[in-house]
């Protein structure tokens, strides 16, 4: 079991900002996100950025007109461009935190196991405090001073 000064669950806008601020204050931080495809959160991956990219591509395609095959090719190119942009932003978000010596990015899900102590399992860490920054999801979290949590790889 590993002890960190703070754990942040969620690598979205709030989670990454909090983890960065805690790291800048000298804390050892575990930042937990369920998938590398979600670094940066909802806006970067499935909402704001991809939507704007696709809307822009659709407007350009509509102005160009053309046959079904030409439009289908532009649609495929628009999807590729959206994937390129979101991938680039995910990478930038990841390295902004993972390259810090006192931030550990953990790919997996986190859960509150019980009050501290004990917490068992090879993938377990303890932290006080634990911050839940789930983005578009709401969580009901325990209200104790110390928490034990684990993640599933």
Report the chain (153 residues): mean pLDDT per 10 consecutive residues.
83 95 96 92 94 97 97 98 97 97 90 51 62 68 46 42
CATH number at residue 55: 3.50.50.60
Take residue 59 and report the two structure tokens written for it: 């407007």
Count the domains in the chain.
Answer: 1
Residue 115: what pLDDT?
55
Residue 76 confidence (pLDDT) = 97
Give the pLDDT score at 3: 80
Q: Which domain holds residue 71?
A: 2-152
For residue 123, the model assigns a pLDDT of 54
DSSP per residue, 64-113: H---HHHHHHHHHHHHHHHHHHHHHHHHHHHHHHHTSTTEEEEESEEEEE
């Amino acid at each position: 079991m590993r002890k960190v000064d703070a754990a942040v669950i969620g690598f979205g806008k709030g989670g990454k900002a909090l983890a960065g601020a805690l790291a800048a204050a000298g804390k050892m931080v575990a930042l937990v996100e369920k998938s590398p495809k979600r670094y940066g959160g909802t806006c970067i991956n499935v909402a704001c950025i991809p939507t704007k990219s696709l809307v822009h591509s659709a407007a350009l395609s509509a102005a160009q007109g053309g046959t079904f095959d030409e439009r289908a090719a532009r649609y495929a190119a628009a999807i590729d461009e959206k994937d390129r942009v979101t991938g680039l932003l995910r990478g930038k978000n990841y390295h902004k935190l993972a390259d810090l010596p006192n931030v550990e990015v953990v790919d997996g899900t986190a859960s509150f196991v019980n009050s501290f102590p004990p917490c068992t399992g090879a993938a377990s860490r303890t932290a006080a405090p634990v911050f839940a920054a789930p983005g578009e999801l709401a969580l009901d979290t325990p209200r104790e001073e110390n928490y034990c949590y684990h993640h599933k790889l």
